[in-house]
Each structure stands twice: as C-alpha cells, then as structure tokens.
Structure 1
C-alpha cells in the first residue's frame, strides 16, 4: 500500500518517537538498524522529514533526530503526504483528467469509499500514540523472520 520510502519513513518516525519518549535523540545509523532499512536511504528520508518539520534534528555530539511537543499533532497522513505526496488521497485512480463527482470514472465511487477508510485509518491516531503502543508492547515495530 505504501512506497518503500514511506514504509521506512513510518517505521523510522515511530522509532524516533519511541526514543524521544525516553528523552533520547538518535542517529540515522541506529534508526536504520532498528527499523531494518538501508542507512543512506533512511538518512535521505529523515532529512526530507526534517525539512518538512515532521521531525527535528540537532547536530553535534549530543545531537540526532528527535520529536517533541511541536510534533505531537502529526499523523500517518502527514507522514505519507510528506514522503509520497497527496496522490493517495486525490486525483483519479485511472489517471483521467476529467474525473469528478459529476463526471466519474468507472472506479470513482468505489475508490472514494476506500480513500475515506484509508484517510480515517491514517488520521485516527497521532504518530506519538503509535509509538506509545509500541513502547507499551501493544504493537511491534520489528519484522519477524
């Protein structure tokens, strides 16, 4: 459902939140290791998320990536849009220019229902709430082999 960049970004930001809940900043190498992602690609994604203010970063020996009160409002939707753009939520699923409510493509009505469900799923909880679920053991962030 999500691009590889988006998958890495979601896992990375949840990991950053989990660490920030314990007042820790983390580097790209540690993040990549813990979310099973390539370090250079992860670093690129993280820099983009810093640029879009979804996460913060600080340079220096005590630096790293972090989140704080300023980032509490962000949801998965914000993260998906920051990485992949708004395409999941808008535009014709068949790529037609004239698709609209008054001029629907053959998939318009069904896709609208699916998008509504996806939008709810991606906005129901903040990224902080997802990290708290991982921290409490309610959910997991690691892949099992």
Structure 2
C-alpha cells in the first residue's frame, strides 16, 4: 500500500526512535543496515524526513539522526513527507475522476479501507512505540 521509499522511511523512523529512546544518534550506515535498505536510498529518505522535520540531524563526530524524546510524530506525517497524502485521498484504481458522484467500481469499498488507514496513521505516535521497539517486541528487518 505504501511506496517502497515510504516503507523504508517508516522503518527508519522507528529505528531512529529506538536509538533516540536510548539517547543515541544513528548514522546512515546504521540505519540502512537496520532497515535492510541500500545506503544511498536510505540517505535520500532521511534527507526527505529531515526536510519534513520528522527527524533531526546533527553534524560532527557525535552527530547523526535522532528524535526528541518528547516528539509527537504521527505515522501520517512520515507518509505525507515521503509519499504525500494521495494514499489517503486517491482512487483504488488510480483514476483521476473517481469520486462519490463519479465512482470507480471499487470506490465504495475502498473509501472504508482508505479512511481506516488514514485513521490508524493519524492515531499512531512513533515515540509511543519506542519502548516496545527497544524491547524487541516488534521486528523491523526483513
């Protein structure tokens, strides 16, 4: 449902949250290894996330990517930073003119799926999951 870049971005933010919860900053190599993504692709994704103010970065010997402990980052913010909000508004078949007045064959069923996904993404805070991620209750690497 999400693009590959978005999937890696979500996994990267969860990994960064886990590290930040321990007071650590992560470099691109660590993030790429943790989420099983090529380093150049991971660097591009992290740049997009930093531009979107989802993650923070610090340069220098003790630098890296991190989240503030009190960060209230919603999953929907990560999705929007990488893929935009089309996943929450677009047609299941990719049609431009699909709407409730001009529905595609899947429109009525997909509206519920799309709205459920949007609700889940808007109600999921990354840092609320950090303790469970740190305790290895969730699995991030394929």
Shift of 1:69: 4.6
Q: Deviation at 1:11?
A: 1.0
Q: 1:79-94, aligned counterparts within 5 Å?
A: 79-94=78-93
TM superposition shift of 1:138: 2.3
Show the counterpart of 1:130. Answer: 129
Residues 95-110 of structure 1: pairs in structure 2 closer than 5 A: 95-110=94-109
User: How far apart, in 2, do the equivalents of 1:13 and 1:25 lie?
Assistant: 12
CA separation in 2, counterparts of 1:97 and 1:40?
A: 33
Residues 1-145 of structure 1: pairs in structure 2 closer than 5 A: 1-69=1-69, 72-143=71-142
Deviates more, 1:103-112 or 1:23-32: 103-112
C-alpha separation in 1, matches of 2:78 and 2:98:
26
Whole-Å separation in 2 of the counterparts to 1:65 and 1:101? 42
Deviation at 1:129, TM superposition (A): 1.9
CA distance in 1, matches of 2:128, 2:6: 18
Q: Which runs of 5+ in 2 are unaligned?
A: none
Taking the aligned partners of 1:112 and 1:95, their CA distance within structure 2 comes to: 13
Number of matched pairs: 142
State which drifts further: 33-42 or 133-142: 133-142
User: Deviation of residue 86 (structure 1)?
Assistant: 1.1
- TM normalised by structure 1 equals 0.89
Q: C-alpha offsets along residues 1-26 of structure 1, whole Å, 9 cap, x if unaligned?
A: 22111111111110100010111111
Matched residue SS, 1:141? coil
- Structure 1 residue runs of 5 or longer lacking an equivalent are none
What SS is found at the alignment partner of 1:57? Answer: strand
Of 130-139 and 96-105, deviating more is: 96-105
